[in-house]
Structure 1
Amino acid sequence: MNTQQVLSDAFGRVQEEVHAVVDGLSAEQLAFRPDGHGNSIGWLIWHLTRVQDDHVADAAGLDQVWVGDRWCDHFGLPFAAEDIGYGHTEAQVASVRSVTAAQLRGYFDAVHEQTLTYVGKLSGPALDRVVDERWTPHVTLGVRLISVISDDLQHVGQAAYVRGLLKSD
């Protein structure tokens, strides 16, 4: 397996899980918040997609799909276009309540396509390129991509847990 295959497989697993979590759910179910305070499935999937879009686009020198393809307009959320959900308050999480499974899948799939196109061109040595000097040690492309995959899998796992709570109600 080469670099492109490993990264494509990892991002593909995220896509499979995102689809499994949102498929068949109504906007109301996507907005359900455990105990009325936790993160909803809709917010979690939106957020993990925004993080992937933001981080991969930045590392690749590309426009974010959220802005470039006007997904920010399609969702109609009360956030600035550059907002990725990091540090959102309970009220901000609660405002993600009218998104649909089709919107979440569509946006995620568009980001996934851009990600796969980018990682499909990478070689092993490219992963050593520093993409963020704000941290010590500096963040390389390889570390950034693994960080995105890890973050995505954690959030989609949280969303799957919330989906499981829907079945027990």
Structure 2
Amino acid sequence: MNSAALLVDSFGRIREVVHEAVEGLTDEDLAARVTPDANSVAWLVWHLTRIQDDHLADAFDTEQLWISDGWAARFALPFPERATGYGQTSAQVGKVRAPGDLLLGYHDAVHARTLTLVGTVTNADLDRVVDTRWDPPVTLGVRLVSVIADDLQHAGQAAYARGLLKAKT
């Protein structure tokens, strides 16, 4: 397996968990919080997709689909356009409300673009520095592993929250 195939497989696993977490939930279920300060399934999926969109756009020097394809306008969230959910308060988390088809539509669009971006990555590409704000500077490989790890963690949290919601019904 080469680097590109490994990355495509990794991002595919995220997509699978996201779909399993969202499909069949009502808008109320998606916005529900199992405790007053818990993250909702909607927020978790929106956030992990925003991070993937933001970080890959930066690493590959392209536009975020959130902005360029009008997803920000479709979601109409009360946040700055470039918000990704990082550092949001509990009150802000509660403002993320979106139907499943919108969440999955955005996620699938980002996933498709991600596969295009990572589908030709070589081992040598992984050493390219993509962020000099850190010491040591962040390489493409480190950034991609970071996004994959973060996204899988949040997708798993969304699946867990879904299980708790379904256990109550």
* TM norm structure 1: 0.98
- In structure 1, the residue matched to 2:100 is 101
Tell me if the contact between 2:27 and 2:99 (Cα under 8 Å) persists in the aligned partners. Answer: yes
Note the residue ranges of structure 2 that are not aligned, 5 or more in a row: none
Q: What is the aligned-residue RMSD (CA, Å)?
A: 0.6
Cα offset, 1:37, TM superposition: 1.5
Matches within 5 A, 1:1-169: 1-97=1-97, 99-169=98-168
Deviation readout 1:32-83 (Å, 9 max, x if unpaired): 1111210000000000000000000000011000000000011111111100
Please list every run of 5 or more consecutive structure 1 residues that lacks an aligned counterpart in the other structure: none
The letter of the residue matching 1:161 is Y
Distance 1:117 1:66 in 2: 17
Task: Determine what percentage of the aligned residue pairs are the same residue.
Answer: 57
Cα deviation, residue 168, structure 1: 1.7
- Tell me by how many angstroms 1:145 deviates: 0.3
The alignment covers a number of residue pairs equal to 168
Q: Deviations over 1:98-136 (max 9, x none)?
A: x01100100000001111001112111000000011111
* 1:167 shift after superposition: 1.6
One-letter amino acid of the counterpart of residue 117, structure 2: Y
Would you identify which runs of 4 or more consecutive aligned residues in structure 1 move more than 3 Å? none
1:157 is aligned with what amino acid?
G
Equivalent position SS for 2:35: helix
TM-score scaled by structure 2? 0.98
Give, as a single letter, the amino acid of the residue that structure 1 aligns with 2:142: V
Letter in 1 for 2:55: H
